[in-house]
Chain A
Amino acid sequence: MNHRAIRAIYLFEMARTWRTLLQSIVSPVVSTSLYFVVFGAAIGSRISQVEGVSYGTFIVPGLIMLSVLTQSIANASFGIYFPKFTGTIYEILSAPISYFEIVLGYVGAAATKSIILGLIILATAGLFVPLHIHHPVWMLTFLVLTAVTFSLFGFIIGIWADGFEKLQMIPMLVVTPLTFLGGSFYSIDMLPAGWRSVALLNPVVYLISGFRWSFYEIADVSVSVSIGMTLAFLVICLGIIWWIFRTGYRLKN
Chain B
Amino acid sequence: MSSIISVANLSKTYGSGFKALKNVNLDIKRGEIFALLGPNGAGKTTLISIICGIANPSEGRVLVGGENIQTSYRKARSLIGLVPQELHTDAFESVWATVSFSRGLFGKPKNPAHIEKVLKDLSLWDKKDNKIITLSGGMKRRVMIAKALSHEPQILFLDEPTAGVDVELRKGMWEVVRGLQQSGVTIILTTHYIEEAEEMADRIGVINKGEIVLVEDKATLMQKLGKKRLTLHLQGKVTSLPESLAHYELDLCDGGATLVYDYDTKGERTGITSLLGDLRAAGIRFNDLDTTQSSLEDIFVDLVRTS
**A residues with CB within 8 A of B:** 2, 4-5, 7-9, 11-12, 15, 19, 86-88, 90-98, 248, 252-253
Contacts and interface: CB of A to CB of B under 8 A. Distances in A.
A12 B49 CA distance: 24
B101 A8 contact: yes
B253 interface: no
Given A4-B107, A5-B106, A96-B75, 19 more contacts: A4-B105, A5-B104, A8-B104, A11-B104, A86-B90, A87-B84, A90-B54, A91-B82, A93-B52, A94-B52, A95-B105, A96-B74, A96-B78, A96-B107, A97-B74, A97-B105, A98-B74, A252-B54, A252-B56
Contacts of B52: 93-94
B77 A96 contact: yes
A94 B77 CA distance: 7
A94 B56 contact: no
14 contacts: A5-B106, A5-B107, A8-B103, A12-B93, A86-B88, A87-B84, A94-B53, A95-B105, A96-B76, A96-B77, A97-B105, A97-B107, A248-B56, A253-B49
A96 B73 contact: yes
B108 to A, nearest CB: 7
Interface in B40-55: 46, 49, 52-55
B282 interface: no
B135 interface: no
Nearest to B108: A4
B165 interface: no
Contacts of A19: 92
A248 B56 CA distance: 8
Contact of B53 (A4, A5, A15, A93): A93
A15 B52 CA distance: 28
B89 interface: yes
Given A90-B54, A252-B56, A12 B89 contact: no
Given A91-B147, A95-B106, A96-B75, A253 B14 contact: yes
Q: How large is the interface on B (under 10, 10 to 19, 20 to 34, 35 or more residues)?
A: 35 or more
Nearest to B51: A94
B105 A90 contact: no
A4 B109 contact: yes
A95 B108 CA distance: 11
Nearest to A12: B101
A94 B90 contact: no
A4 B111 CA distance: 13
B88 A90 contact: yes
Interface in B68-124: 73-78, 80, 82, 84, 86, 88-93, 97, 101-109
B64 to A, nearest CB: 11
A98 B75 CA distance: 12
A90 B82 contact: yes
B101 A94 contact: no
Given A15-B97, A96-B77, A91 B92 contact: no
B144 to A, nearest CB: 9
Given A2-B74, A86-B91, A9 B56 contact: no
B66 to A, nearest CB: 15
A7 B53 contact: no
B301 to A, nearest CB: 29
A-B CB proximity, top 4 nearest:
A8-B104, A87-B88, A96-B74, A96-B77
A165 to B, nearest CB: 21
A94 B97 contact: no
Contacts of B49: 253
Contacts of B106: 5, 95-96
B54 A93 contact: yes
Nearest to B20: A253
B84 A8 contact: no
Contacts of A87: 84, 86, 88
B197 to A, nearest CB: 24
Nearest to A3: B107
Contacts of A5: 104-107
B104 A94 contact: no
Contacts of B91: 86
Contact of A90 (B46, B84, B101, B108): B84
Contacts of B92: 19
B82 A88 contact: no
Contact of B105 (A8, A86, A252): A8
Interface in B7-52: 14, 46, 49, 52
Nearest to B104: A8
B159 to A, nearest CB: 10
Interface string B128-165: 00000000000000000001000000000000000000
B14 A91 contact: no
